[in-house]
Chains A and B, each alone.
Chain A
Amino acid sequence: MTFPMSLLTARSAAAGKTEQPAITVMVIPDSVLVGDRIRCIFSISHSGKEVATLEWRAVTDILSSRSFELISSKHLSSTPFPGSSQERFELELAVFGAGHQTLPPVTVAFRDSKGRVTKKVVYTPPVSVFVRALTDSSMHDFAPLKPPLKPQIPFLLIMPVILGAVAVAVLVLLLLFLLKRIVRRGAEKVDSSQVAQRKLRKLGSSLSAGMPPHECYEELSNIMRSFLENHYRIRALEAVTQEIERDLKKLGIAGFENIMNLLKQADLVKFADSRPDAEESRQSLQKASEVIRSTRHSRPPEE
């Protein structure tokens, strides 16, 4: 951001008299944003017998000095003339506040060759700086928040949508219910005991055809477990014999001991390297068939 540079000069009230020093000040720039810095160049012409010094008066009780903060000061030059001398000082100031701000007074002290102060002149620069604020200074209060806008949807417009959604949900539930009934009826049509009996007959034929008896027991165990799983809806394929026994006991299945005997016999063949003969296997198949027949009409547990 650039500012027009202007030269403001002022003469002290004592200007014109030969023994009085002449002081001028130049401020660059003359219009700034709050917080910006300005340069003030003071030129002091005096008799030449003394040395002039410039003192910044950081007095907080002077209203104008509150708007300026000294950043740096330096002695720029000292130019001797016949019978007089001119000295130049530069002050760098940070500017605060807002509007026209008048520069605060400065003190010019004159010292003789021994360093003693011979004279002090308080000089109020007749110069002001225009400071532009960053915010709107006219705003004193927070504006109240506006209430949120409520959509104006008429109830009659929403009602059909709600009714439609409810109708769709009811329809889906009805369809699911019907589908479940159809699936269940289909499953009931495939009687698990009939399936098991068919598998047992097939196994008996395989045994007669020369199937090793120990393999027959393994298959018998699988048939029984599948039957129990489908008929009583217990987890039998991933369960050990003890767990099946526990589940059947819990369901109060009549004659579950016969089922368990068959499973335990199969366990002996499967896990204890027991080698039954073909006759034993045939007897076991017959027992399995009887067990399944006897449990055919027993009611499967309700879900």
Chain B
Amino acid sequence: MQLAVELEELGTQIIEASRFLEHAEEELSLRIIGQRDVIRRVFIAMLVNGHILLEGVPGLAKTLIVSTFAAAMNLKFQRIQFTPDMLPADLVGTMIYNPKDLEFYPRKGPVFANVILADEINRSPAKVQSALLEAMQERQVTIGSQTFSLQEPFMVLATQNPIEHEGTYLLPEAQVDRFMMKVIVDYPSYDEELEIMLRSATNARKVPVRAVVQSDDIFRARTLIDRIYVDPRVQRYIVDLVVATRKPAQYGMAELETMIEYGASPRASIFLLLAAKAHAFLQHRPYITPEDVKAIVYDTLRHRIRPGYEAEADNIKPADIIRQILQHVQVP
């Protein structure tokens, strides 16, 4: 059975245009062992202009993934360590007075880069968090009275530690919603850990990362992703999944009504579709299937569902709720 001619052509173009990701993946594998899913999620977010919240205990190579990714992608990378005494100006920049010509000049902050690693974002107060999240949303920054557009591609990868909550400022739901995905960085497998240990426990210099991608590759991929075909059945499947988080009883899950305090916002539907498109692109497919949706649904919805009191009492996590929803919403 043949695909429609346009999709056949698109498929060929996608295979051609996605080669840079294979090169980037190879380059990343020289420095990073395992964490393939995390790397794929980072690619997905970059392909559809999204931002990622990485959650994991310290020492799981979160920073290494992001810095290696930026280097391989030939993108300007900035790491910002969020601290409680940080001010918005430390992030976006400030006006500096020049006594020579008696003028104020803007000094751009570290947010003016392509890839930002906001390390431990929950350690700084809400003012700083909202300054970054505003930049993420608007993709522009105002210093004094001047507004500056952020350079594309612009991607924020924020990290937070799930085990330490003392002295942290929990990200408000409205701000967490701006992250396209919340990716859980898990421990490596036994074999991976063995390889990490052998490769890292040496005084030899680390393998340098080559820049194998150009910004144009990313922009070209984005154009092709926009053309990926989405059947109305898949569109409805996405909306069904998101609506099921708000009205589970409609989908035969009355027991979830009390488990969910509030469900995912419409932003979830948008990001779910975008991420599914990017996932299909990574699979070299010119169309989305429900498999693409299922592949990224946990990462896209887990931070958008707030479990209710009963769920917390029963230690039911958003991932458990999503699993149940997937088991009840019929696949087209």
Contacts and interface: CB of A to CB of B under 8 A. Distances in A.
Contact of A240 (B2, B4, B231, B331): B331
A242 B291 contact: yes
Give the interface size bracket for A toward B.
20 to 34
A286 B234 CA distance: 28
Contacts of B330: 237-238
B3 A271 contact: no
Interface in B231-282: 231, 233-234
A122 B294 CA distance: 104
Contacts of B112: none
Interface residues of B, number: 23
Contacts of A274: 1-4
B167 interface: no
B2 A271 contact: no
Given A237-B331, A239-B331, A267-B289, A275 B326 contact: no
Contacts of A36: none
B180 to A, nearest CB: 22
A271 B330 CA distance: 15
Contact of B3 (A237, A243, A268): A268
Nearest to A273: B4
A241 B294 CA distance: 11
A272 interface: yes
B307 interface: no
Contacts of A235: 327
Contacts of B289: 240-241, 267, 271
Contacts of A273: 3-4, 7, 229, 231, 287
B328 interface: yes
A269 B3 CA distance: 8
Contacts of B294: 240, 243
Contacts of B290: 240, 271
B233 A240 contact: no
14 contacts: A240-B294, A240-B331, A241-B289, A241-B291, A242-B291, A267-B289, A270-B332, A271-B229, A271-B288, A271-B290, A271-B332, A273-B229, A274-B3, A280-B1
Given A239-B331, A267-B289, 18 more contacts: A238-B326, A238-B331, A240-B289, A240-B331, A241-B289, A243-B294, A265-B1, A268-B1, A269-B1, A270-B231, A270-B332, A271-B234, A271-B290, A272-B3, A272-B7, A272-B286, A274-B4, A276-B1
Interface of A: 235, 237-243, 265, 267-276, 280
